Structure 1
Amino acid sequence: MKTNKEINMKNNKALLIIDMQKGSFTEETPRYDTPGVIKRINTLASVFRELHYPVICIQHDGTGTGEFEKNSPQWENLDELEINKADLKIDKYVNNVFYASTLQTELKELEVTELFITGCATDFCVEATVQAALTKDYNITIVGDAHTTGERPHLKAVQIIEHYNWVWQHMIPTKGRIKVEPTSLIKATLIQK
């Protein structure tokens, strides 16, 4: 069976799943609508695989920091997240997944021009990756109901998610475009093509 990397990618789309790791989803760090976010990510990942678009699972590797040590329970993806053997796996080391990782090389090799972004945490790694992707001229779709975060001292998680969805909808793109859409619309649009 061919991997996503070996298949000719039509329309050059890729789904990014950022930091859906056990260490980010604990009793001490609850995330907003975790079951719903996981379900929506799994739904989109299934559609991307059926259409032979790459699914890229990104995991924070904190080796040497004492947190998210590679291959530790914290580093592992959530059990409910459906990861396929053919999915690409990328380690990241800071909030921005493009920094010091193999992501940009993989995307260029696959000739990806359009990113669909999901994951955790909205206000940290998702936001940093969106900003970096903008400066690299990607077309970006943030899956508005498939990213999550936790409560902050001054804001509820749902407010943070709503705020960033609004910010991203009003950003000035570089050569690409940026939009925020719900899972259901993205799924319907992909299936129609």
Structure 2
Amino acid sequence: MKNRKALLIIDMQKGSFTSKTPRYDTKGVVSRINILAQLFRASDFSVFFIQHDGTKTNEFVPNTTEWELLDDLKVKATDVFIDKYANDIFYKSKLQSKLNDLNIDELFITGCATDFCVASTVQSALTKDYNITVIEDGHTTGDRPHLEAKKVIEHYNWVWQNMIPTNGKIEVKNFECIKNDLMRH
């Protein structure tokens, strides 16, 4: 009895959003994530907060300020919290077993950074036959030496729209479209 949805919120942590690492449209992305999380909870779907644990590299150490979620994110006690240790959130984490326990086969992906953890997660989930929806305007990154953040985001949205799915599907949809779909149910 699969066909359960989960919203994945990746690395929306204080250490990734500093004055030295400004992110594209942070306020807008956080606002869209909060609204989607509220709609997922109202539909009895799971909301996962994924937090990078960089203890091995002495960064994003649990219970430090940089590890904490952004203050503007609305978190509920019923949400699921998963520590991750690499760009791919499935790598040596409890995510896969938790998704299995909850019979989840459809992932809605948001978070930071588009070109690192979000991209790695999309590709990993694809090889695990999940149905994937990337929220087109629900992930963010910073400017790169050769490309501004907005272009990085556009590029990855294009790549994901053109990937060959495995047994699952992959789509890129904007926030309004997802919101309207959830409100219809």
State percent identity of aligned pairs. 62
| Partner SS state of residue 158, structure 1 | helix
Equivalent pairs, count: 185
Corresponding position of 2:100 = 108
Residue 81 in 1 paired to residue 73 in 2?
A: yes
Decide whether the 8 Å contact of 1:139 with 1:177 is kept in 2. yes
Amino acid at match of 1:79: D
Q: What TM-score do you get using the length of structure 2 for normalisation?
A: 0.98
Q: How does 1:31-42 map to 2 (within 5 A)?
A: 31-42=23-34
Structure 1, unpaired ranges of 5+: 1-8
Residue 134 in 1 paired to residue 94 in 2?
A: no
Q: Deviations over 1:1-31 (max 9, x none)?
A: xxxxxxxx98400000000000000000000
Corresponding position of 2:116 = 124
Residue 15 in 1 paired to residue 24 in 2?
A: no
Q: Distance in 1 between matches of 2:3 and 2:162?
A: 25
Query: Runs of 4 or more off by more than 2 Å in structure 1?
Result: none
Q: What TM-score do you get using the length of structure 1 for normalisation?
A: 0.94
Corresponding position of 2:164 = 172
| Partner SS state of residue 84, structure 1 | coil
Shift of 1:64: 3.2
Q: Deviations over 1:62-91 (max 9, x none)?
A: 113221011100000000011111100000
Superposed CA RMSD: 1.1
Structure 2, unpaired ranges of 5+: none
| Partner SS state of residue 57, structure 2 | coil
Decide whether the 8 Å contact of 1:10 with 1:53 is kept in 2. no
Shift of 1:190: 1.5
Shift of 1:156: 0.2
